[in-house]
Structure 1
Amino acid sequence: MASALDVVDGEVRELIRRRGLDPFTDPGPVRMLVRDVVADYSERSLTSALPPIGDAEAVVRDVLDRVAGFGPFQRYLDDPEIEEIWVNELTPLNLQISGSIVFLGPH
């Protein structure tokens, strides 16, 4: 069964396509759309077999990162403490934070 994040992500992508939105040039409407889809999903999951959503704000952030950012890398790009990001393969990921190299492992 798909996770709540995956279901919401799919619904958001479909609505973005239908409405002709561009996540990069229309970030406000896309952000509002994601919040609306998460709220709707959260209500539907209370009375259905859908997986529970958990932390709704985290789902909003993750879906926005997926559709309007660089997916799981976006949080590192947004973090002012990150000095460098080394990507030699899809995994593992290494970061330089305050002069120290941090190995994050597979994503």
Structure 2
Amino acid sequence: MDAATIIESESRELIRRRGLDARADQLEPLIREVMGDYDRRSSSGEVPVLGNDDESMVAEVAARIGGFGPLQEMLDDPTVEEIWLNSPSRNG
């Protein structure tokens, strides 16, 4: 599994244990908390090393959990006028 998938899974589990709303303003701080723990484990080799861009990882995991996944970036971009879904695995 890649880092984003592991962080997403652990974040979802923490949301369930704490009984939080995934769309609440607590989502990004929770993801940062999970990433801090993940970073400590990656230094010992337990999980893959986290990339250099923490902000991108937080945004990606937040979009997966509380947004529309890979579509979220396009939905947030004011220059995007249309999104065509060609298949479940391809968009443009």
TM-score, normalising length: structure 1: 0.78
Number of residue pairs aligned between Structure 1 and Structure 2: 91
Partner of 2:87: 89
- Map of 1:74 onto structure 2: 72
Q: 1 or 2, which has the higher helix percentage? A: 2
Report SS of the residue matched to 1:85.
Answer: coil
The structure whose residues are more often strand, as a share, is: 1
Root-mean-square deviation over aligned CA pairs: 1.3
Gaps of 5+ in 1: 95-107
1:21-75, CA deviations, whole angstroms, 9 ceiling, x for partnerless residues? 1122x2x211110111112211221113310010222211110000000111100
Tell me how far apart the structure 1 counterparts of residues 87 and 3 of structure 2 sit (CA, whole Å).
28
Q: Structure 2: 5+ residue runs without aligned partners? A: none
The CA deviation at 1:11 is: 0.4
Identity across aligned pairs (percent)?
44
Map of 1:19 onto structure 2: 18
RCO higher in structure (CA 8 A, sep ≥6): 2
> 2 CA distance for matches of 1:75 and 1:15?
24
Deviations 1:61-101 (A, max 9, x none): 1100000001111000001110111114214322xxxxxxx
